[in-house]
Amino acid sequence: DIVMSQSPDSLVVSLGERATINCRSSQSVLACSNNKRSNCKNYLAWYQQKPGQPPKLLIYWASTRKSGVPDRFSGSGSGTDFTLTISSLQAEDVAVYYCQQYSDTPQTFGQGTKVELK
Amino acid sequence: QVQLQQSGPGLVKPSQTLSLTCAISGDSVSDNSATWNWIRQSPSRGLEWLGRTYFRSKWFNDYSVSVNGRISINPDTSKNQFSLQLHSVTPEDTAVYYCAREIAWTSAFDYWGQGTLVTVSS
Lowest mean pLDDT among A36-45, A104-113, B60-69: A36-45
pLDDT tens string A52-67: 999 999 999 999 999 9
pLDDT tens string B37-57: 999 999 999 999 999 999 999
Average pLDDT for A72-86:
98
CB pairs under 8 A between A and B: 51
Q: How far is CA B67 from CA A44, A49, B71, B86, in A?
A: 24, 25, 6, 8
* pLDDT given at position A33: 73
- Whether chain A has a CB inside 8 Å of the CB on B102: the answer is yes
* pLDDT given at position A34: 66
pLDDT tens string B59-73: 999 999 999 789 999
Neighbours of A40 (CB within 10 A): 12
Angle in degrees, CA B61, B63, B66, rounded to 5:
170
Average pLDDT for B96-109:
94
How many angstroms separate the most distant Cα atoms in chain B? 44
Average pLDDT for A69-73:
97
On chain B, the residues whose CB falls within 8 A of the CB of A55 are 47, 98, 109, 112
Q: In one letter, which amino acid is B38?
A: W
Instruction: Tell if the CB–CB gap between B112 and A56 is shorter than 8 Å.
Output: yes
Instruction: Say whether pLDDT at B95 is over 90.
Output: yes
In which band, very low, low, confident or very high, does the pLDDT at A37 lie, cut at 50, 70 and 90? low
